[in-house]
Amino acid sequence: MLYQIYEAQRSLMEPFADFALAASKLYSNPLSPFGQHPLAQRMSAGFDLMYRLGKDYEKPEFGITNLDVDGVEIAIQERIEIDKPFCELRRFKRFSDDPHTLETLHGQPAVLIVAPLSGHYATLLRDTVRSMLRDHKVYITDWRNARMVPLEAGEFHLDDYVNYVQEFIRHLQQQYGNCHVISVCQPTVPVLAAVSLMASRGETTPATMTMMGGPIDARKSPTAVNNLAMNKSHDWFEVNVIYRVPPGFPGEGRRVYPGFLQHSGFVAMNPDRHLSSHYDYFKHLIAGDDASAEAHRQFYDEYNAVLDMDADYYLDTIRVVFQEFRLVDGTWDVRNPQGQLERVRPEDIRTTAHFTIEGELDDISGAGQTEAAHALCYNVPKERQKHLEVKGAGHYGIFSGRRWREVVYPQVRDFIAAFHDIAPVPARQAAGRTPVAAARRASDVARTTAPRASSRKRAASK
């Protein structure tokens, strides 16, 4: 019922927001009689702020259409490489008329950026994508708003997320021989699981795996986000934050964790900071500081745009990552597309170089949570491991903004380049594939119940 109330309130606010926008323009226009009033600038600023507080924020665009690389302008075209029910694999194809530049672009590494499915859209990583495009072929997971996915598409679990990532990695490997993977925040866990499963099967794993600000081991330096997930029961989350999508959307009836509830949680973490930011925006408008006002708009256009998450995926994540710590305890079994359970064994990764990155002031993923991946992947040679703590950076600072561009990105670029030309070695060959190891993996795959019913059948039975 809460979702329906929210939608009714949003529909009620929409005309008032439109009126506030019109009034703001009316008072800001010097040719308007209202624009001649002594308080016109303040009135315009007030109505503008009212509009932004009441408007509905849609999914933003990446908006990356061109890029300057060493003085040569490169055109960027977005295209969908793989279209899945809950995710699009989006590619940023680069074009140039300069033969030398085109040859350089052709030989650069292919990188899969796995964006978080934790409230915001993949466009939150726009700055990450823009930087990476200078030296890499870039693909990104663009997760869909669950309320836009019809029930006929079936359920979506954390296991399905892991399987999606494996499919995307294989797609890049088929095109380029191998690839590099970057995961930001939440996907560090399923990405590590995906690569681990590929290694256990003897598949070729990505050349490098960069993990940024993620809860690999959420027990280390727990933050407010971790504490909430740890201190509330699994049933509490199902009862208090899961609702069904109301009529009027393609996903009507789907169980989701609504975006508006997630946004409320984001704001509640730092209410004073957001209040101060909006007041500063009001003052910038009065002072005519267009640059600062536009920076505020760009940030909150992204920050306020949120998506619904499928309930099964969200509840799986709470249980597996934040309550039972199955990855670090070695007890996580992932169901593959054939319905079999496979044990996640990071120790089977032997050739994939990995780079962990944390922000010194990160209040979402605490210190040591991402670095914990090194202890799990203990069969990766030390010379293929690297860790970076970014001084003065919060959670967003490690993948967006000045510190990302000046401190983090150069090291990510150099790390990828260091292992790009090394020929891929199948995990089976690297591990020696001893009879004991083979038997152990076979027993893991055999440890299964009957395959899960198809997503379509399960959805129809509800």
C-alpha gyration radius of the chain:
24
The CA-atom distances, in angstroms, between 411 and each of 62, 111, 396, 415 are: 24, 15, 17, 6
**155, pLDDT greater than 50:** yes
Are 280 and 369 in the same domain?
no
Closest to 324 in 3D by CA, of 189, 462, 219? 219
Are 46 and 84 in the same domain?
no
Residue 246 domain-assigned (yes or no): no
Domain of 210, CATH number, reads: 3.40.50.1820
Are 17 and 87 in the same domain?
no
pTM given for the model? 0.87
Are 231 and 321 in the same domain?
yes
Chain segment 383-439, per-residue pLDDT in tens: 999 999 999 999 999 999 999 999 999 999 999 999 987 655 565 555 554 333 433
Chain segment 250-269, per-residue pLDDT in tens: 999 999 999 988 888 778 77
Closest to 176 in 3D by CA, of 105, 115, 74, 76? 105
C-alpha torsion 319→320→324→329, nearest 10 = 180
> What is the residue whose two structure tokens read 């990446």?
62
Q: Which domain holds residue 276?
A: 2-56+259-303
The pairing of strands 341-343 and 66-69 is: unpaired
Q: No. of H helices and E strands in the chain?
A: 19, 14
- According to the model, what pLDDT value does residue 61 have? 93
> What is the residue whose two structure tokens read 């279209």?
83
